[in-house]
């Protein structure tokens, strides 16, 4: 397994690498970044952390993969089996308030085009996009790649953890008992699916005030974290763990019970097309195996469409992104071959 992280010297990239290195000691990890020295430094430290966890006196055993560093231009992507894109432009000023993800739009779309050009030199592999605003950047990378849409997915799982945390607090329940998937935009138009909310396996109805509190918590808490820890920080731990969990699912070929929400290209599902927005999916070894058609309440469907409309407004600000190119494959397939896992990284990034 060989995993490549594009943006490997950055905050989220290094956190993902560390989490995977410890949780999946058998995989090979590559930290790819324009800051090659920084990537090498983080690679050495991560390798030592993995080594420590594998020492026999601490109960470690089994095979241990490599941790290396490089750049996307040096051929390190050639044998990658999964690419994780955490690269981002530096944080603009005054982006520590709600809606701050949008400030990255122009620069990160350009960066996405450059990254796609490098990925396109190689055979299609699953690509996890973390760079913000993630729905727009995922769309740009997928359009530039020209690959089957099952290969490209935007990471949006942090909202699920945040929703569960808030609901558990409101209802004084263990967080492990809470199930509430979250779809929509990775941003203001986030859509918790309260119609599917369960606590300890039982359907639960939140009051209107509770629903508003959960939705506002999801929107606000990333910026609260930034303001508490400083402008150069980010929600690195929840994102790092979530991306590592997603990557592990891809390595293992998904699970029958895995129904998670990711930002994926839609072609008619939920009445939406030519947009990337978070919806429930089933994973396979090659990427997205199936987009799940869940019944939504009327308000949830309206909110999902509002999210898509907001994302499309940015997508269509450049006419070249307006429609699927003729002949492009938009099917969702299962890919049976077993990938090796490789993670690629690029430049300092920020994830909310």
Pairing of strands 287-291, 273-284: antiparallel
Rounded average pLDDT over 172-189: 95
Mean pLDDT (whole number) for 129-142: 94
Q: In terms of domains, do 217 and 241 share one? A: yes
Q: Is the pLDDT of residue 105 over 90?
A: no
Note whether residue 129 is domain-resident: yes
User: d(Cα 14, Cα 296) in Å, to the nearest integer?
Assistant: 37
**Which CATH number do you get for residue 84?**
3.40.50.720
Q: Are residues 145 and 177 in the same domain?
A: no
Return phi, psi of residue 222, to 5°. -60, -35
Q: pLDDT tens, 268-319?
A: 999 999 999 999 999 998 999 999 999 999 999 999 999 999 999 987 764 3
- Non-local (6+) Cβ contacts of 35 within 8 A are 9, 347, 348
Residues 290, 180, single domain; the answer is yes
Q: What is the pTM of this model?
A: 0.87
Q: Smallest Cα–Cα separation from 27: which of 19, 35, 15?
A: 19
182 neighbors 204 (Cβ within 8 angstroms): no
- Asked if residue 113 is part of any domain, the answer here is yes
Q: 190 with 125, same domain?
A: no
Average pLDDT over residues 66-88: 90
Q: Determine the pLDDT at residue 320.
A: 42
pLDDT band at residue 189, thresholds of 50, 70 and 90? very high
Same domain, 239 and 118: no
Which of left, alpha, beta for 146 (phi over 0: left; psi -120 to 50: alpha)?
left
When pLDDT is cut at 50, 70 and 90, the band that residue 152 belongs to is very high
Same domain, 317 and 197: yes
The answer to whether position 327 is within a domain reads: no
Give residue 98's pLDDT.
Answer: 54
Better-scored residue on pLDDT, 73 or 15: 15
Q: Residue 133: which domain range?
A: 2-156+335-344
Q: What pLDDT was estimated at residue 111?
A: 87
pLDDT at 90 over 80: no
Residues 309 and 175 in one domain: yes
Q: CA angle, 75 as apex, 74 and 81 as ends, to 5°? A: 135
C-alpha to C-alpha distance for 153 and 141, rounded to whole angstroms: 10
In what side-by-side order are the strands of the sheet with 178-179? 178-179, 198-199, 202-203
178 and 237 belong to one structural domain: yes
Q: Is residue 227 part of a domain?
A: yes
Count of helices and strands (H, E) across the chain: 8, 15
Lowest-confidence pick of 104-118, 154-168, 203-217: 104-118
Q: Considering only the C-alpha atoms of the chain, give the largest distance between any 2 of them, rounded to a whole number of Å.
A: 60
If one counts the domains in the chain, the total is 2
**Residue 204: partners with Cβ closer than 8 Å, 6 or more residues away:** 171, 197, 198
What is the tens place of the pLDDT at every residue in 245-270?
Answer: 999 999 998 876 678 999 999 999 99
Residues 207, 340, single domain; the answer is no
The answer to the question of residue 29 being in a domain is yes
Averaged pLDDT, 70-93: 84
64-72 mean pLDDT: 92
- Verify that 152 and 225 share a domain, yes or no: no
CB within 8 Å of 54: residues ≥ 6 apart: 25, 60, 61, 62, 64
Answer yes or no: do 65 and 173 share one domain: no
Q: Is residue 352 part of a domain?
A: no
Same domain, 222 and 141: no
Q: Is residue 281 part of a domain?
A: yes
For residue 349, being part of any structural domain is answered with no
Domain of 310, CATH number, reads 3.90.110.10
Three-class SS state of 277: strand
Q: Evaluate if residue 103 carries a pLDDT over 70.
A: no
Higher pLDDT, 193 or 225: 193
């Amino acid at each position: 397994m060989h995993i490549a992280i594009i943006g490997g010297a950055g905050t989220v990239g290094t956190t993902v690498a560390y989490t995977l290195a410890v949780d999946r000691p058998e995989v090979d990890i590559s930290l790819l970044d324009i800051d090659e020295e920084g990537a090498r430094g983080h690679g050495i430290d991560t390798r030592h952390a993995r080594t420590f966890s594998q020492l026999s006196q601490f109960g470690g055993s089994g095979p241990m993969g490599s941790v290396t560093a490089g750049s996307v231009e040096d051929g390190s992507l050639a044998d990658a089996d999964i690419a994780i894109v955490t690269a981002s432009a530096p944080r603009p000023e005054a982006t520590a308030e709600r809606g701050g993800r949008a400030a990255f739009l122009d620069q990160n779309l350009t960066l996405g085009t450059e990254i796609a050009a490098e990925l396109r030199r190689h055979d299609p592999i699953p690509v996890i996009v973390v760079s913000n605003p993630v729905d727009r950047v995922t769309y740009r990378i997928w359009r530039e790649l020209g690959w089957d849409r099952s290969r490209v997915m935007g990471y949006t799982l942090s909202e699920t953890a945040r929703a569960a945390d808030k609901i558990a607090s409101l209802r004084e329940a263990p967080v492990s008992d809470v199930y509430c998937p979250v779809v929509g935009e990775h941003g203001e138009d986030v859509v918790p699916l309260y119609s599917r909310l369960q606590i300890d396996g039982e359907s639960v109805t939140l009051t209107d005030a509770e629903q508003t509190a959960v939705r506002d918590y999801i929107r606000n808490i990333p910026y609260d974290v930034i303001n508490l820890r400083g402008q150069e920080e980010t929600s690195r731990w929840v994102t790092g763990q979530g991306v590592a969990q997603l990557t592990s699912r891809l390595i293992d070929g998904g699970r029958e019970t895995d129904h998670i929400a990711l930002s994926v290209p839609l072609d008619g599902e939920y009445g939406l097309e030519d947009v990337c927005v978070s919806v429930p999916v089933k994973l396979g070894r090659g990427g997205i195996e199936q987009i799940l058609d869940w019944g939504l309440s009327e308000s949830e469907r309206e909110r999902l469409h509002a999210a898509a409309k907001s994302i499309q407004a940015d997508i269509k600000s450049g006419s070249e992104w307006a429609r699927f190119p003729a002949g492009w494959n938009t099917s969702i397939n299962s890919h049976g071959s077993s990938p090796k896992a490789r993670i690629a990284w690029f430049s300092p990034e920020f994830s909310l």
